[in-house]
Amino acid sequence: MLARWRAAGLMWPAILTVLTLPLLIGLGTWQLQRMNWKADLIAKLEARAKAEPVSYTAALGEFVKSDPDLKTGDVEYLRVRVTGTFDHSEERHIYAPRTSSQGWNVYTLLKLDGGQPPVYINRGWVSDKFKDPATRAEGQIAGPVTITGLARLDEPKSMFAAPNDPKSNRWYQRDTWAMRWGEKGPPTPAEQQMMQLQGYAPFSIDAEAEPANPGGWPKGGTTAVKLPNSHLQYVVTWYGLALTLLVIFGVFVRQKLAEFDAKHPQP
Pair 104, 189 in one domain: yes
Residue pair 106/190 in contact by the 8 Å Cβ criterion? no
What is the mean pLDDT of the segment spanning 83-98? 92
Give 140-198 pLDDT, tens digit per residue. 998 899 999 999 888 877 777 788 888 889 999 898 888 888 877 776 676 666 666 66
pLDDT at 85: 94
Pair 210, 238 in one domain: no
Is residue 55, in this structure, part of any structural domain at all?
Answer: no
pLDDT at 69: 45
Instruction: Give the range of the structural domain holding residue 19, as residue numbers without chain letter.
Output: 2-42+229-263
What is the mean pLDDT of the segment spanning 30-48? 80
Is residue 57, in this structure, part of any structural domain at all?
Answer: no
Pair 244, 176 in one domain: no
Sorted by sequence, the CB contacts under 8 Å of residue 246 that are 6+ apart come out as 17, 21
What is the four-CA torsion angle of 198, 201, 206, 208, rounded to 10 degrees?
-100
User: What gap in Å lies between CA 146 and CA 75, rounded to an integer?
Assistant: 19
pLDDT at 266: 64
Q: How many domains does the chain have?
A: 2
Is residue 62, in this structure, part of any structural domain at all?
Answer: no
Q: Examine the pLDDT at 134 and tell me if it is beyond 80.
A: yes
Is residue 224, in this structure, part of any structural domain at all?
Answer: no
Pair 212, 241 in one domain: no
pLDDT at 72: 52
Pair 137, 184 in one domain: yes
User: What gap in Å lies between CA 177 and CA 31, rounded to an integer?
Assistant: 35
Q: What count of other Cβ atoms lies within 10 Å of the Cβ of residue 164?
A: 20
Give 53-77 pLDDT, tens digit per residue. 888 888 887 665 554 444 455 788 8
Q: Give the model's confidence band at 88: pLDDT under 50 very low, under 70 low, under 90 confident, else very high.
A: very high
Q: Examine the pLDDT at 249 and tell me if it is beyond 80.
A: yes
Is residue 47, in this structure, part of any structural domain at all?
Answer: no
pLDDT at 130: 92
What share of the chain in percent tops pLDDT 70? 87
Pair 113, 138 in one domain: yes
User: Which carries the bigger pLDDT value, residue 139 or residue 6?
Assistant: 139
Give 209-239 pLDDT, tens digit per residue. 888 899 889 998 888 777 667 778 888 888 8
Is residue 237, in this structure, part of any structural domain at all?
Answer: yes
pLDDT at 163: 85
Pair 193, 234 in one domain: no
Task: Find the DSSP H helices in the chain.
Answer: 2-7, 11-50, 56-66, 176-179, 189-193, 231-263
Pair 83, 136 in one domain: yes
Pair 211, 233 in one domain: no
SS3 131: coil
